[in-house]
Amino acid sequence: MRPALGLTGVFLLVMAATSSADHAAKVHSVANEGFLIDNEPRIHVHPAGAGIVRSIGNLGIKGKLMLPSQLRPLLAVGLILMCTPTFAQTNEPSPSTWIDIEETALTLVEQEKFDEALALVEQLAPKLQDRGFEVSDLTLNILFEAGRTEEALTVWEKGLDEGYFYFVIPRSDTFDGVRRDERFRKLVARNNRLREMAQRESKPTYQVIKPASFSPDSSYPLVMIIHGGNQSIVKAMERWDPTAIGDDVIIAYVQSGWRADTKGYRWNLGGVDIYSLPTAQDEVIGLYREIVEKYPVDTSQVTLAGFSQGGNLALVMAAEGTIPARGFIAGCPAIRTPLSLETARAAAARGLRGTIFVGADDWTAAPAETTAANFEQAGNPLNHIVAEGKGHEFPDNFDEMLRESIKQIYQ
């Protein structure tokens, strides 16, 4: 093992600076692959949290050149490595983006290495820009999982003081040991008040990316990306890279109006059961109609795609014909009951094509397997991908898998 010197940080800084020059084209294209960015929706929070209002993607629209979100962590890590050589004194690659940090920390939590997870977050994550809430939320989750309740409640209270609110289900097993605690109850009440304040101004929205060759006189396939629970357009764009989807389609990232936490949204908080979908489907249908009314979409060439809650919606709405989709891509679809053989046969009759990907260790693997078997029995086999050693998460080769899935739908 040898210490990583400041040269590593310099390299990352150069990479970030070089990449930021390419980002100037994002006003008119995404990653120089020929995309036009439309809309500039914003995520709104209550006045107490006004400091964390954030433009979706910070894509530098309206002529402002800004370092894109995916490059900011690179820049920050470069600075950290220059100033903190001890951090890099390991043979393992250091996490370089917020997604990497979060996944690394959660993996450590699964291994019950709570102190290591906290050390990672405390040392690296605070240096990243615009991640104050994410750092607080992740720290809170680690502390609760570690059974360090008093510390967790202190972090929660501090977050509430800063205007953050969190996705909390008091009946969850996580809170068995603290549910009757008076301090916990007061924090739940404060948390709910902040969420309700944010909810008043929240509504479904979307972000559209058009091909560089876009013409209002032509029509284009539509790929609609539906975020997962406690996610957002911002997070969906980080995962579902438009350059992997293609440069000859309209891409629409849609977002629920139901607030889960300071930066996240859920699709089905309209009902008592968080897995009930009518409200969620109404939101997605409403956004779909807005998009096809505003943009020249070929409605015979629609693909629905999403992960977890979003995967559920993509799979169910495409299979049942709620939206007339040509295909779907459903990642770890959060379905409790597999789609029936009857539904699969009706979808097969319409020529529906699709991909389901799951982690072998995820709870969604079993219903996904039955659903795939029903589609195969109906004479319309799906592209069913099972990632060994993975749970409720994206596969390592997701961009490649996404390209192939899109190709199979539109070939």
Residue spans in the chain of domains classed CATH 1.25.40: 95-201
List of residues 6+ apart from 200 with CB closer than 8 A: none
Residue spans in the chain of domains classed CATH 3.40.50.1820: 205-410
What is the CB neighbour count within 10 angstroms for residue 359?
A: 20
What pLDDT score was predicted for residue 208? 98
In tens, the pLDDT along 201-242 reads 899 999 999 998 999 999 999 999 999 999 999 999 999 999
Distance between start and end Cα atoms, the chain: 49
What pLDDT score was predicted for residue 98? 83
Q: How far apart are CA 125 and CA 119, in angstroms?
A: 10
Whose tokens are 């919606």? That residue is: 313
Go through 385-408 and write b for each residue having 16 or more CB atoms within 10 A of its CB, e for each that does not: bbbeebbbbbbeebbebbeebbee
What pLDDT score was predicted for residue 92? 54
Q: What angle do CA 330, 289, 247 make, to 5 degrees?
A: 60
Q: How far apart are CA 315 and CA 224, in angstroms?
A: 12
Our CA dihedral for 201, 99, 398, 94, rounded to 10 degrees, sits at 170
Q: How far apart are CA 383 and CA 375, in angstroms?
A: 10
Architecture of the CATH domain 95-201: Alpha Horseshoe (1.25)
- Evaluate whether 20 touches 32 at the Cβ level (below 8 Å): no
Strand pairing report for 297-307 and 327-331: parallel
| Beta strands per DSSP E along 5-158 | 35-38, 42-43, 54-55
What pLDDT score was predicted for residue 252? 98
In tens, the pLDDT along 350-396 reads 999 999 999 999 999 999 999 999 999 999 989 999 999 999 999 99
Is the CATH number 3.40.50.300 carried by domain 205-410? Answer: no
Low-confidence ranges of the chain (pLDDT < 50): 1-33, 40-91, 269-277
